[in-house]
Amino acid sequence: MQGLTDSVADAALVVARWLAVVFDDADLTSAWPLTDEPLRLALAQSWVMLEGDRVDVAACNRDVLAGALAEADHPASPFWPEFSDWRIIRSREVLPDFVTDAGIRGTVSGEHPEAPDVEAVWIAHVDTPVFECEPIVVQQFLVRRTGGAWRVAGIGGVLPMPGWPPTESPRL
């Protein structure tokens, strides 16, 4: 049981670091290596599709552009600054304040979904009272162990499935 507890704790640390870098530091570049490759690619693909009516984006091969934006270290695209800024702004718009604001962000717990090498971490308002068998409002993050390290793999209890358009797995 200790190994399972350690894996949830390690996964929670990665989520905490990822949230701090993305929302507290507004630095998606530093968070990108902490992000699982399918999530990076799906996020890049969604931006390419959203911006596909622009002449400068439409002039690019969408697979090459999405792949360049999804590179873990030093994304090789002149669109990176724009994509990165948009991704942080969009995430702030759709995620609860207790995820995006460090002053009220708290980790409740985690669980072991029925998926290999995946852990779930729940983020809640730091002042949320937790009582056994009582529901609470949380934002779930999925974290996958890959290449010997934990990486943020999904937001909201689903794993991304890159493609045109990107989709999601069933809820884990």
The tens place of each residue's pLDDT in the chain, 172 residues long, gives: 444 456 888 999 999 999 999 999 999 999 999 999 999 999 999 999 999 999 999 999 999 999 999 999 878 899 999 999 999 999 999 999 999 999 999 987 767 777 778 999 999 999 998 888 899 999 999 999 998 999 999 999 999 999 999 999 998 8
Which value, in Å, is the radius of gyration of the alpha carbons in the chain?
A: 16
Strand ranges inside the chain, DSSP E? 105-111, 118-125, 139-146, 149-155, 160-161, 167-168
Euclidean distance between CA atoms 70 and 68, whole angstroms: 5
Euclidean distance between CA atoms 36 and 59, whole angstroms: 28
pLDDT (0 to 100) of residue 36: 98
| One-letter amino acid of 82 | E
Task: Assess contact for 119 and 110: CB atoms under 8 A.
Answer: yes
pLDDT (0 to 100) of residue 127: 94
pLDDT (0 to 100) of residue 5: 52
DSSP summary character for residue 169: P
Q: Exposure string (b/e) for 55-86, b if CB count within 10 Å is 16 or more? A: eebeebeeeebbbbbbbeeebebebbeebbee
pLDDT (0 to 100) of residue 2: 43
- The total number of residues shown for the chain amounts to 172
